[in-house]
Structure 1
Amino acid sequence: MKTRYIDLIDQTFDFPQEEFRLTNGTLSFHDIDLMQLVNQYGTPLKFCYLPQISNNINKARKWFDEAIRKLNYAGTYNYCYCTKSSHFSYVLDEVLKNNVHIETSSSFDINIVESLKAAGKIDDAHYVICNGLKEREYVKNIGRLVNNGHRRTIPVIDSIEELALLEAAVNFPIKLGLRIASEEVPEVDFYTSRLGIGHKNIISFYREKIQSNANFKLRMLHFFINTGIRDTAYYWNELTKCVDIYIALKKECPELDCLNIGGGFPIKDSLAFDYNYKGIVEEILTRIKTNCDRENVPVPHIFTEFGSFTVGESSGIIYSVLRQKQQNDKEKWYMINSSFITTLPDTWAIRKRFLMLPVNHWHEEYEKVLLGGITCDSDDYYNCEQHNNSIYLPKFQRSQPLHIGFFNTGAYQDAIGGYGGIQHCLIPKPKKIIISKDDEGKLVTQVFSNQQNYRQVLQLLGYQANGANWHEKDISEFQFINGFETH
């Protein structure tokens, strides 16, 4: 009878896979020896493999370029990075190596764009698509960016009031986008998205507020589906409604020539993951072209805003199992040395599942377990896989620590978890490393930030460094340059 963990994986999935394989009995991720990382840096450990960001950008470009050629589609494709997925400098540096455009969500995003421009990483040829509800500070920053010469800034109107604010903030006519308030999936508590302008009001809004206003030129129509780009009747129905609105508006507004199909591609969350990216792209362009050709309207240039797809599959986090707790006849808990609530908050907030695999002990027997974090909160747990309503892991051995990895965690987790700040039960922020390749293709690792120490946490809470519990000798002091540690 085959009872080893490697047997379970072999019987259930095609393995090894593109990014996962075993090397000397332990797990490798994109040829990164994860046990070597554990031995060198300890756990809990967050890591980001930068080359995967470029890989996914180039994959998407290839899918769209191939579909455009195949369908003889007359428009162009423009890849935008959705910065809210991860604002870190090392992420933007990697993203911008690929000459992509930027989509923003708030006022501070514009400050980041200006910083990138000053460093020569963005120039006036890059589109800056400004989404989100635009309060005064956001509009002020957009106006400054436009007035300083960035003419490819396109604010996407989310509500009527934004027009007056933008008109007061800029010194010359600007290009605009309009966001359609899509209808939500049936299982949510509301019918229409709070974002954008209702699809029945888009054309009248254009006629009354934009058409005769010399300060604005409508360039882009934007729609966003919260569930992402999925092969479902719901998605295709919303896309069709959006294209119909584009066609109607184009007949009245010749300068309208861009369609932003917001909502991203899904990312791999299981070894059983299966998604026909190439086929979905071809179907999207086919439907747009078919409808436009039928109405004798030129097809739009296509913009996408990929956030999770861009950065999600680049990152992971490794925990160690501290101990095993047998609570009753059915529940065997593996307690990790961190917290899911603080390090993978989506697992707690929306019950999101990530791809989880052990790093070592693949040739040991496996058992059904529950994973628990170290906070005193009963919700700090992880209890099932995306493909299975259970978790199976190699049996715990106190003498030989078990390390487990959660993969494709690069989008949103740091921002939602409050990177660098106060976290639930004062669980410290883990150490974070960045992995890249040198000119010879060899892996290079850098420490971006060390695990939070108690002094940093107490300072955030307002405690003064004059108490008896402050022990300088216990604290590793580091100087940071651009986020990377140097001794």
Structure 2
Amino acid sequence: MKIQYIDLIDQTFHFPQEEFNLSEDELNFHGIPMMDLVRKYGTPLKFTYLPKISQNIQRAKGWFNAAMKKVDYKGNYNYCYCTKSSHFAHVVEQALKNDISIETSSAYDLDIVEYLFDSNKLNKDRYIVCNGYKTDDYLEKIAHLINRGLKILPIIDNYKEVEVLDALIENEFEIGIRIASEEEPKFEFYTSRLGIGYRNIAPFYRDVIQKNPKIKLKMLHFFINTGINDTAYYWNELNKCLTVYGRLKDDCKELDSLNIGGGFPIKNSLAFDYDYAYMAEEIISQIKSFCEDKKIHEPHIYTEFGSFTVGESGGALFKVIYQKRQNEKERWNMIDSSFMTTLPDSWAINKRFVMLPLNRWESEYERVFLGGLTCDSDDYYNSEQHMNAIYLPRFNAEKPLYIGFFNTGAYQDTVGGYGGLQHCLIPNPKHIIIDKDENGEFTYRIFSEQQAAASMMKLLGYPSNKAQKEELETIENGRISK
């Protein structure tokens, strides 16, 4: 009878996989021994594996460029990274090594852009696509960078933005227009709050933009929340976007770019199956066919990938510190952190991540629930919230079990309020960055230590005792050993 955890995985999935394999009964992720990280840095622990960011960017470029070559597509492909997925310097700077553009969504994003430009980490020839509703501060920073000569492309979300930008920008400038796409039927509303309605875009162009010689319409922007998926909903929205593009092209010769916003999905289980190359080819083929029918030039294609860029580079490692048996059927494995604070999407939107034990794959398995450290009843991860039941090696107090959640690199730190106050004052885990040197060897550095009590006391307005003050001073001065 096959009762070991490795038997369960072998019977259920194809294993090993590209990023996961075993050394004896311990898990490797992209060749990195996970238990070695635990032994060296302890838990709870977050990590970012930088090479995966570049790998995914290059994969996407390859899929779209191959699709364009196959159908003799005349436009270019441009990869944009959505900084809202992760604003951290090590992430953004790694992404920029791959000759990409950036998509921003708020005023403070542009402070990062200006820093990257001034430090020669951002190529002046790459477009900065500015999305979202734009406050006065956001508009002023857009105008400031355009006046400095950067290629800032504001995507117009409402009519007032054009008027304000026109007053602030000194010379001619380019803009895009965002379509207010229709939402899926399951949504509580029909049309996105962002952008301008399909029927209003052409009149807006003729009545406002076309009459102003200072403004050039370069891009039509299309975005849906569900991302790029092979569904009737996605293809229908793309077709409506192309129809608007064709109408605008009749009057606007300088319009030459189409932004098919909405990201590629990332792996959320060992059973994940998505044909990226097929989707890229189908998108390009449909746009090519539409343009041939309308006898117009194919637009340059922009994609905005956030989660796809950085999501699969991240992971979170925990120790099972105790098992509680509340009744005959329910076994609660308690981790040494909190799901609500460390992986907030698992609580807020029932998002799934790849979850695997780091050790003891040759032990017998059992069905469990996973509980976090907060006193909130919602701080859990189990089969009721997610599609599959959770099975892990049987709890043994003498042989500690460690588990990992993988592909957690997008949104979790910013949504969770990195560096700030956490629910029940559960601290942010230690965070390490993993890279490869010129010889292909793994390198490790500590990005941040586990959040200290002194930092929370300071945020909350409490005076710190002497020991806490010394601890906080040590952290803030960067004197923690790396």
- Shorter-chain TM-score bucket reads over 0.9
- The equivalent of 1:250 in structure 2 is 249
- The equivalent of 2:474 in structure 1 is 477
- Take 2:331 and 2:324, find their aligned partners in 1: how far apart are those partners? 6
- Deviations along 1:212-262, one digit per CA (max 9) or x if unpaired, are 112210000001010000000000000000011111111110000000000
- Take 1:327 and 1:198, find their aligned partners in 2: how far apart are those partners? 53
1:34 aligns with 2:31: no
What is the Cα deviation at residue 305 of structure 1? Answer: 0.6
- Conserved 8 A contact 1:157-1:163: yes
Structure 1 stretch displaced more, 165-174 or 276-285: 165-174
What is the Cα deviation at residue 460 of structure 1? Answer: 0.9
Report SS of the residue matched to 1:87. Answer: coil
User: Which residues in structure 2 correspond to 1:87-486 (within 5 Å)?
Assistant: 87-150=87-150, 152-384=151-383, 388-465=387-464, 467=465, 470=467, 477-478=474-475, 486=481
RMSD value, Cα: 1.5
Structure 1 stretch displaced more, 324-333 or 187-196: 324-333
What is the Cα deviation at residue 477 of structure 1? Answer: 2.6
Structure 1 stretch displaced more, 387-396 or 172-181: 387-396
- Structure 2, unaligned runs of 5 or more: none
- Deviations along 1:340-397, one digit per CA (max 9) or x if unpaired, are 0000000111010101000001000001100000100000000039984310000011
Structure 1 stretch displaced more, 357-366 or 380-389: 380-389
- Conserved 8 A contact 1:480-1:486: no
What is the Cα deviation at residue 192 of structure 1? Answer: 0.3
Report SS of the residue matched to 2:159. Answer: coil
- Conserved 8 A contact 1:354-1:386: no
* One-letter identity of the residue aligned with 2:440: G
Report SS of the residue matched to 2:179. Answer: strand
Structure 1 stretch displaced more, 112-121 or 380-389: 380-389
What is the Cα deviation at residue 473 of structure 1? Answer: 7.5
- The equivalent of 2:81 in structure 1 is 81
- Take 2:38 and 2:474, find their aligned partners in 1: how far apart are those partners? 22
- The equivalent of 2:25 in structure 1 is 25
Report SS of the residue matched to 2:233. Answer: helix
- The equivalent of 2:9 in structure 1 is 9
Corresponding residue pairs, total: 482
Closer, same or farther: CA 477–259 of 1 in aligned 2, 3 Å: same
- Deviations along 1:305-330, one digit per CA (max 9) or x if unpaired, are 10000000001000100100111122
* One-letter identity of the residue aligned with 1:418: G
* One-letter identity of the residue aligned with 1:154: L
- Structure 1, unaligned runs of 5 or more: none
Report SS of the residue matched to 1:273. Answer: coil
- Conserved 8 A contact 2:223-2:262: yes
- Take 1:407 and 1:306, find their aligned partners in 2: how far apart are those partners? 19
Closer, same or farther: CA 62–485 of 1 in aligned 2, 3 Å: farther
- Take 2:48 and 2:322, find their aligned partners in 1: how far apart are those partners? 27
* One-letter identity of the residue aligned with 1:300: P
- Take 1:49 and 1:181, find their aligned partners in 2: how far apart are those partners? 36
Task: Tell me the TM-score normalised to structure 2 length.
Answer: 0.98
* One-letter identity of the residue aligned with 1:265: F
Report SS of the residue matched to 1:178. Answer: strand
- Take 1:436 and 1:186, find their aligned partners in 2: how far apart are those partners? 43
- Take 2:473 and 2:252, find their aligned partners in 1: how far apart are those partners? 61
- Deviations along 1:409-433, one digit per CA (max 9) or x if unpaired, are 0000000000000010000000000
* One-letter identity of the residue aligned with 1:373: G
Structure 1 stretch displaced more, 206-215 or 272-281: 206-215
- Take 1:18 and 1:476, find their aligned partners in 2: how far apart are those partners? 43
* One-letter identity of the residue aligned with 1:226: N
Report SS of the residue matched to 1:201. Answer: helix
Closer, same or farther: CA 418–474 of 1 in aligned 2, 3 Å: closer
Report SS of the residue matched to 1:168. Answer: helix
- Conserved 8 A contact 1:354-1:385: no
Structure 1 stretch displaced more, 117-126 or 34-43: 117-126
Report SS of the residue matched to 1:181. Answer: coil
What is the Cα deviation at residue 173 of structure 1? Answer: 1.4
- Conserved 8 A contact 1:447-1:485: no
